[in-house]
Amino acid sequence: MNTTIITNIQGFSIHDGPGIRTVVFFKGCLLSCRWCANPECLSKKPEIGFIHSLCQQCGKCLEVCPNNAIRSGEDVYRIERLRCDSCGKCVENCDYGALVRYGDLMTVDEVWDAVRRDKMFYDTSGGGVTASGGEPLLHAQFVKELFQLCHNERIGTCIETSGFVDTDAFLEVIPVTERFLFDLKHMDSVTHKKYTGQFNDQILKNARVVVESGVNVLFRQPLIPGVNDTTTHIEATAAFLKTLGKKALSLELMPYHRMGQDKYKALNMEYRMENTPIMSYDELEAIKKAYMDLGINCSISR
């Protein structure tokens, strides 16, 4: 039976495709975007997070850890990563919610059982199930099996993707996917690597494959001040979309935010974007207008 690591299954989402949706967050991503809001989804393996402000120093986690991977002391990070195997016993015995396990092994049937419960909301709103992450297409066979079950029950299907996977992964899921939300982070390959850890050649290739397949796709762009908000980059993005044909002349901007910052702290990871400003309404509208003036139907995710 097909299994994979799922970080979270979030119901009643309205920002991850049309209507009311349930979002399945898959673990693992080949990019390392500096602004990533889901750092708990980057590694393929389960991880234990520590929320320092909730810890009451009761000591239960130290007593139950089979690997002696828990540190003691008020001003130290609780988890010794080299010893921790993310078994979750500390999480189970923490009465204050200071320890959290990111990622659980689930079967397709278990995920299906969770998402099918909200079918009445999908039916009334035109919603459905969205595979997200991390990068869900690293688990293409799992997504395909899940979406086949969705199709059998007439539940809509959507994938949020960075595009940085083998093209075969797209070809595997396209027949059972109604729409893609496809990120275009930066048009310059060297700059793309600087901020995400990878060149963008494979992403741009896959963007063309998805459009040419005829499936519904909305391109999106995380809008990062000082990274991809310049006139030069706006023009380059618009020019690329135009090469894909009339069906690709839409772009949704996703303004930079810091809502994932606390998860970096929980995982003891460096957050490298804390000095990046939040764009004002007028700044966002000006960039939207710049895209519109270039013939791109642009919207802003709020």
Domain enclosing residue 216, as ranges = 3-43+107-300
Burial class (CB in 10 A: 0-12, 13-18, 19+), 295: exposed
Residues 140 and 159: beta-carbon distance below 8 Å:
no
* Stated pTM of the model: 0.95
Mean pLDDT of 36-62: 95
For residues 264 and 159, state if they share a domain: yes
68 and 199, same domain (yes or no)? no
Is residue 255 domain-shared with residue 168, that is, in the same domain?
A: yes
Cis amide bond preceding 133, omega within 30: no
Q: Are 88 and 228 part of one and the same domain? A: no
Query: Who contacts 265 (Cβ-Cβ below 8 Å, separation ≥6)?
Result: 51, 52, 271
Let me know whether 68 and 183 are in one domain. no
How many CA atoms within 13 Å lie on the side-chain side of 175?
A: 8
Ramachandran area for residue 295 (φ above 0: left; ψ -120 to 50: alpha; else beta): left
Q: Are residues 14 and 91 in the same domain?
A: no
Percentage of the chain exceeding pLDDT 90? 96
Domain closes at, from 102, 121, 138: 102
User: How many domains are there within the chain?
Assistant: 2
Using CA atoms, how far residue 4 sits from 8, 149, 224, 240, 272, in Å, is 12, 17, 32, 35, 29
Task: Identify the pLDDT of residue 302.
Answer: 79
Q: What pLDDT is attached to residue 180?
A: 98
- Same domain for 247 and 216? yes
Residue 126 φ/ψ region, left for φ over 0, alpha for ψ in the -120 to 50 degree band, beta for the rest:
left
231 and 93 inside one domain: no
Q: Is the pLDDT of residue 29 over 90?
A: yes
CA dist 98 and 279 (Å) reads 32
pLDDT band at 216 (very low <50, low <70, confident <90, very high): very high
Beta bridge partners of 159: 131, 180
Supply φ then ψ for residue 174, to 5 degrees: -55, -40
pLDDT at site 176: 98
**Over residues 195-222, mean pLDDT:** 98
| H helices present in 41-197, as ranges | 60-64, 89-92, 108-115, 119-125, 140-152, 167-173, 189-196
Using CA atoms, how far apart are residues 92 and 81, in angstroms rounded to an integer? Answer: 18
Phi and psi for 127 in degrees, rounded to 5?
-95, -150
**64 shares its domain with 210:** no
In angstroms, the CA 233 to CA 223 distance is 11
Q: Look at residue 1 and tell me whether its pLDDT is greater than 80.
A: no
Residues 7 and 146 reside in one and the same domain: yes
- Domain at 225, CATH number: 3.20.20.70
Helix then strand then coil, % of the chain, to nearest 5: 40, 20, 40
Q: pLDDT by residue (tens digit) across 261-301?
A: 999 999 999 999 989 999 999 999 999 999 999 999 999 99
Q: Are residues 89 and 172 in the same domain?
A: no
Task: Please say which residue of 65, 84, 102 terminates a domain.
Answer: 102
Rounded CA-CA distance 264/123 in Å is 36
pLDDT of 73 reads 85
Domain end call among 86, 102, 118 = 102
Give the pair of three-digit tokens for residue 212: 């040419």
The 10s digit of each residue's pLDDT in 98-129 is 999 999 999 999 999 999 999 999 999 999 99
The yes-or-no verdict on residue 42 having pLDDT over 90 is yes
Six token digits for residue 144: 């395909």
> How high is the pLDDT of residue 45?
96
Which residues on neighbouring strands pair with residue 41, listed in sequence order?
A: none
Joined tokens for residue 31: 């990019």
CATH number at residue 62: 3.30.70.20
Q: Tens of pLDDT along 51-103?
A: 999 999 999 999 999 999 999 888 889 899 999 999 999 999 999 999 999 99
Report the run of H or E that residue 7 belongs to, with start and end: strand 3-13
Average pLDDT over residues 153-172: 98
Sequence-separated (6 or more) residues with CB below 8 Å from residue 9: 22, 23, 24, 25, 111, 114, 115
Please state the φ and ψ torsions of residue 141, each to the nearest 5 degrees. Answer: -65, -40
pLDDT beyond 80 at 219: yes
pLDDT band at 33 (very low <50, low <70, confident <90, very high): very high
Q: What is the pLDDT of residue 3?
A: 97
pLDDT for position 55: 94
* Whether residues 116 and 212 fall in one domain: yes
